[in-house]
Amino acid sequence: DAKTTQPNSMESNEEEPVHLPCNHSTISGTDYIHWYRQLPSQGPEYVIHGLTSNVNNRMASLAIAEDRKSSTLILHRATLRDAAVYYCILRDVGNQFYFGTGTSLTVIP
Amino acid sequence: DTEVTQTPKHLVMGMTNKKSLKCEQHMGHRAMYWYKQKAKKPPELMFVYSYEKLSINESVPSRFSPECPNSSLLNLHLHALQPEDSALYLCASSQLGSLYEQYFGPGTRLTVT
A101–B105: do the CB atoms touch at under 8 Å?
no
C-alpha distance from A66 to closest chain B C-alpha (Å): 19
Beta strands in chain A (DSSP E): 9-13, 18-23, 32-38, 45-50, 55-56, 61-64, 70-75, 84-91, 103-108
C-alpha distance from A108 to closest chain B C-alpha (Å): 21
Q: Judge whether A93 is closer than 8 Å to chain B, CB to CB.
A: yes
C-alpha distance from A14 to closest chain B C-alpha (Å): 24
B81-103 burial: b if 16+ Cβ within 10 Å, else e: beeebbbbbbbbbbeeebebbbb
Name every chain B residue with its beta carbon within 8 A of the beta carbon of A51: 99
pLDDT confidence bin for A2, thresholds 50/70/90: low
Q: Judge whether A53 is closer than 8 Å to chain B, CB to CB.
A: no
| Tens of pLDDT, residues B37-94 | 999 999 999 999 999 999 988 899 999 999 999 999 999 999 999 999 999 999 999 9
Contacts 24+ apart (CB under 8 A), B44-51: B44/A99, B45/A96, B45/A97, B45/A98, B45/A99, B47/B76, B48/A95, B48/A96, B48/A97, B49/B74, B50/A95, B50/B96
* pLDDT of A5 strictly over 70: yes
H-helix or E-strand spanning residue B77: strand B73-79
| Tens of pLDDT, residues A34-93 | 999 999 889 999 999 999 999 999 999 999 999 999 999 999 999 999 999 999 999 887
In 3D space, the residue among B45, B6, B12 whose CA is nearest the CA of residue A42 turns out to be B6
What is d(CA A49, CA A106) in angstroms, rounded to the nearest whole number?
22
Q: What is the pLDDT of residue A95?
A: 73
Name every chain B residue with its beta carbon within 8 A of the beta carbon of A31: 98
**Residue in B closest to A30 by C-alpha:** B98
Chain A with chain B: Cβ pairs closer than 8 A: 58
B97–A31: do the CB atoms touch at under 8 Å?
no
A46-85 burial: b if 16+ Cβ within 10 Å, else e: bbbbbeeeebeeeebbbbbeeebebbbbebeebeeebbbb
Q: What is the pLDDT of residue B109?
A: 97
B48–A96: do the CB atoms touch at under 8 Å?
yes
Which string of DSSP letters, residue by residue, matches A89-104? Answer: EEE-TT--B-----EE
What is d(CA B48, CA A96) in angstroms, rounded to the nearest whole number?
8
What is d(CA B52, CA B71) in angstroms, rounded to the nearest whole number?
6
C-alpha distance from B55 to closest chain A C-alpha (Å): 9
In 3D space, the residue among A42, A97, A91 whose CA is nearest the CA of residue B90 turns out to be A42
Q: Which of A31, A36, A98 sits opposite B45 (nearest CB)?
A: A98
Q: What is the pLDDT of residue B9?
A: 97
